[in-house]
Amino acid sequence: MKVSGKNIVITGGASGIGKALAERFHAEGAAHITVADLAEEPLKEVAKSVNGLAVVTNVAKEEDIQNLAAKAEEAGGPIDIFVSNAGIIRKGWEDIPNDFWQLSWDVHVMSHVYAARAVVDKMVERGSGYLVNTASAAGLLSQVDASAYAVTKHAAVGYAETLAVRYGDKGVRVSVLCPQMVHTGMTKGKTDSVASVDGIITAEELAGCVVETMDKEEFLILPHPQVREYMQRKTADYDRWISGMQRLRDKYLGDE
């Protein structure tokens, strides 16, 4: 699907990947863009730069996503593309507090469920629509230093799979975005982390890959193409893959 002429919603739109997607979609000729985020001031600036609408939204709350969808429809008509992109990260393992595990679930998984509930029936009725959910390479290949992130990003990939199975042949395209490291606020000062093993790309480079992959309507959006090969190695020999991850853990975390 071409983004040109489409009415698009992007969550996590105040910065990083969401902001770069808004700018790229605008440059590609999107008809209308609504950006959503918790951070009001930077959100308004992004909306202004794309002649779009800013809707302050907590994606962890279903009523906020319903409100977002309603405002986006009011402003630009039926929603053609919904990009569920907001995300959070915190280092740690079992020691991560329960409330952050729950928040990670709400932000990385339930927000995608709420978005689908808000728009998918209408997309099926029209026989056209596109759900793009941002997960992470950590959702395919795990992560050596952020359990709540890795686990809920796996769930985000799993949820996108069920959407594609349910709606993919009913006119609703589904893609899941799984990058390794991208230069954004989330990764500032973390450039020697394991996620940067294959290099760090800019959010603008990533946005180019998203547009190209959406054009091809492929399920996996992999701005770091090596991820596909790592997935193949993982499924070919799971135990060997875990040993490799343990070596990466030692290389990046030492005895931590």
Ligand X SMILES: NC(=O)c1ccc[n+]([C@@H]2O[C@H](COP(=O)([O-])OP(=O)(O)OC[C@H]3O[C@@H](n4cnc5c(N)ncnc54)[C@H](O)[C@@H]3O)[C@@H](O)[C@H]2O)c1
Minimum CB separation of residue 136 from ligand X in Å reads 3
**H or E segment at 256?**
none
Using the rule CB under 6 A, give the single segment among 24-32, 34-42, 90-98, 244-252 that binds ligand X. 34-42
Q: What is the DSSP letter of 237?
A: -
DSSP annotation string for 31-92:
SEEEEEES-HHHHHHHHHHTT-EEEE--TT-HHHHHHHHHHHHHHHSS--EEEE-------B
User: Applying CB under 6 A, does 12 fall inside the site for ligand X?
Assistant: yes
Chosen residue from 7, 34, 57, 104 binding ligand X by CB under 6 A: 57
User: Applying CB under 6 A, does 211 fall inside the site for ligand X?
Assistant: no
User: Applying CB under 6 A, does 221 fall inside the site for ligand X?
Assistant: no
Minimum CB separation of residue 133 from ligand X in Å reads 9
Q: For residues 248 and 252, what is the distance between their CA atoms, to the nearest angstrom?
A: 6
Minimum CB separation of residue 14 from ligand X in Å reads 4
149 as an active site residue: the answer is yes
- 183 phi, psi to nearest 5 deg: -70, 105
Nearer to ligand X among residue 103 and residue 124 (C-beta): 103
Minimum CB separation of residue 185 from ligand X in Å reads 4
CA dihedral sign, ordered 114, 115, 119, 120: negative
Single out the residue of 3, 77, 16 nearest to residue 43, CA to CA. 16
Nearer to ligand X among residue 73 and residue 106 (C-beta): 106
Nearer to ligand X among residue 86 and residue 131 (C-beta): 86
Judged by CB under 6 A, how many residues of this single chain contact ligand X?
29
Chosen residue from 6, 8, 10, 16 binding ligand X by CB under 6 A: 16
Minimum CB separation of residue 220 from ligand X in Å reads 13
Site for ligand X in 142-201 (CB under 6 A): 179, 181-182, 184-187, 195
User: Applying CB under 6 A, does 37 fall inside the site for ligand X?
Assistant: yes
The set of long-range contacts for 197-205, using a CB threshold of 8 Å and a minimum separation of 24, is: 197/248, 198/224, 198/226, 199/224, 202/20, 203/16, 203/17, 203/19, 203/20, 204/20, 204/23, 204/24
- 35 phi, psi to nearest 5 deg: -105, 145
Site for ligand X in 66-85 (CB under 6 A): 85
SS3 189: coil
Give 243's contacts (C-beta < 8 A, 6+ positions apart). Answer: none
User: Applying CB under 6 A, does 220 fall inside the site for ligand X?
Assistant: no
Residues in the site for ligand X, rule: CB under 6 A? 11-12, 14-18, 37-39, 57-60, 85-88, 107, 134, 136, 179, 181-182, 184-187, 195
- Active-site residues, by number, are 149
